[in-house]
Structure 1
């Protein structure tokens, strides 16, 4: 298996939202974008699918060294080799890659967030940093890309938190700020034990509205001159909004199941996104 095939399987298996979003990108940008999404998936798996934090830290330390090797021109991992092949300036993006890694490392140290400003720092480290990397891969004005891409990355993370509330809780992580859960009188035990209440519904209505407003605003802020080159991010935004609508229609029943769009619907939404 060559590194392109590895990245495709890791980042965008057929039927996934990423698969359809990547297909909207300009053909010349797709290999690099796929490699970036594969790298993010590697980091996600390390922190969210490793039960022992010490093992997770060891794996992240390996990735830290691998990113340094990538910058030095001696990558060994298939994803790193793909990035070496397609990134125009590896050394220029190396700090952002390290920042993304550091953002995911937070998941090994922190499972709850006191308030929204604390959560937002994590979201910016993971979501905003990644979206900026994706945007710069094909942006006409790479220097300005982070300014409009990072807020969209943050917003996409908020939408993901809504849909994955139950799954995250089952893995010991709650991305709803503590003070907001207290305001709506929803104890963490309700999320862990999959207990639906009127209070939980009101809490999720609040979280969903914030995520939807953030995605809508950030998508609208993408400059007109960049919209054609940023079809992947635009498609991801459209898919996130559609998923939030589905969660809402299902009465926020996200604790015991994963609500998802069908592959055909994903294809249609991604193709029509603008």
Structure 2
């Protein structure tokens, strides 16, 4: 059928879009079985395309118009009428994995917040953003990975928030250049810092204390995710654990730099990401073998 042929091309499109990015996500999914890997690449491409609508449109009105069109395309996809390469691939994914459409709508809503909300008065508002921009992605991913424990959804939600808060810490300077400040306004004021200081890249004791507070919050979510992780599902969820370990290493590097995110952009080398991914994958295979080995 023609649809089958076009779906192969669509997966090539989504795989290329993901591979070209070389993000932390890419290294987390390298060792998945092909069917799941292609599904994850499709989800990543959907996320990236949504994000690009917001970031590459200088006119907020046009960006909102395109997001509305993208929402309609998502609905059409779930009604078996996709017309975009990404949603053609997504349609195939939705037939193989139980991904609720509402998760993808939440994701679009999260990206739209970057158009409507340049500041966050308190963590309550920021936590909503973290859920929509990151936790929802985790919820989608676990439907592809597979899981047995009901706690896995809470694991995905907590891990997503930990990752997003780590990104926010790393990207303070980069976000300020596009007039976005994700650190809650009440906390900036509480620690005697200011928006003006952020825009000028002022690295001071007040900034360090402010960032220590952000780091402590992120640590709570990392810890919560680890507590909720179901080890018996490690052969299924190892990509999520690769992501957690890559991001936790990034988190540690931010702390080790004493939160100086103004001087240099803190990152993890591709070689290090690959080592983490390979070690976790091998560990998942070993655990699976020993689990089913009567002699173990």
Q: Give the structure-2-normalised TM-score.
A: 0.85
2:288 corresponds to: none
RMSD of aligned alpha carbons: 2.1
Kept after mapping to 1: 8 A contact 2:130/2:164: yes
TM-fit CA distance, 1:226? 2.3
Structure 1: give runs of 5+ residues left out of the alignment: none
**Which segment drifts farther, 20-29 or 37-46?**
20-29
Cα separation, 2, equivalents of 1:219 and 1:3: 35
Cα separation, 2, equivalents of 1:271 and 1:6: 25
Cα separation, 1, equivalents of 2:235 and 2:267: 27
Count residues in correspondence.
Answer: 274
Bigger Cα Rg: 2
Match of 1:113 among 110, 116, 120: 120
1:148 corresponds to: 155
2:173 corresponds to: 166
1:30 corresponds to: 37
Change (3 A) 1:143 1:54: farther
Match of 1:58 among 49, 58, 65: 65
Match of 1:139 among 140, 146, 149: 146
- Which structure is richer in relative contact order (CA contacts within 8 A, separation 6 or more)? 1
Kept after mapping to 2: 8 A contact 1:71/1:91: no
Q: Flag as ranges the 4+ runs of structure 1 deviating above 6 A.
A: none
TM-fit CA distance, 1:62? 1.3
Change (3 A) 1:91 1:135: closer
1:232 corresponds to: 239
SS at structure 2 position matched to 1:219: helix
Kept after mapping to 2: 8 A contact 1:191/1:255: no
Kept after mapping to 1: 8 A contact 2:97/2:144: no
Structure 2: give runs of 5+ residues left out of the alignment: 1-7, 284-296
